[in-house]
Amino acid sequence: DAMVIQNPRYQVTQFGKPVTLSCSQTLNHNVMYWYQQKSSQAPKLLFHYYDKDFNNEADTPDNFQSRRPNTSFCFLDIRSPGLGDAAMYLCATSRDGGSKSPLHFGNGTRLTVT
């Protein structure tokens, strides 16, 4: 079954300790997105890749980085997690980024910072 898979479902890290969240897809979609969703808030787009082209949102903190080594995988690196970075992180894909190719979300990784 073609899917967007995020690992792990739950991640605990210590304040200031780098952490990497992973996302893989079997849909062969060109575009991959990372959203941050804090409790009772809207999912907020952090950045997206159109193929290998990286697109950062203007208000995404420098503490967040991303890598897309190939079509199937995309990683979210948080260099120095703070307590305010605790959230659900959602990965999504789109065939071509246009409105006629809807977002396919993963189940998310819930990050806890202690």
How far apart CA 52 and CA 50 sit, in angstroms, is 6
Which token pair is 24?
Answer: 């893989």
Q: Which residue in the set 65, 72, 103, 112 belongs to the binding site for another protein (CB under 8 A)? A: 103
Do the beta carbons of residue 87 and residue 26 sit within 8 Å?
Answer: no
| Minimum CB–partner distance for residue 5 and another protein (Å) | 10
Q: Which residue in the set 56, 65, 101, 112 belongs to the binding site for another protein (CB under 8 A)? A: 101
Coil vs helix vs strand at 22: strand
Binding flag, residue 80, another protein (CB under 8 A):
no
Q: Which residue in the set 56, 71, 105, 112 belongs to the binding site for another protein (CB under 8 A)? A: 105
Q: How many CB atoms lie within 10 A of CB 55?
A: 13
Q: Which residue in the set 40, 62, 69, 83 belongs to the binding site for another protein (CB under 8 A)? A: 40
How far apart CA 95 and CA 19 sit, in angstroms, is 28
How far apart CA 40 and CA 61 sit, in angstroms, is 21
| Minimum CB–partner distance for residue 105 and another protein (Å) | 4
The residues that touch another protein, with contacts defined as CB under 8 A, are 4, 31, 33, 35, 40-45, 48, 58, 90, 94, 97-99, 101-103, 105-108
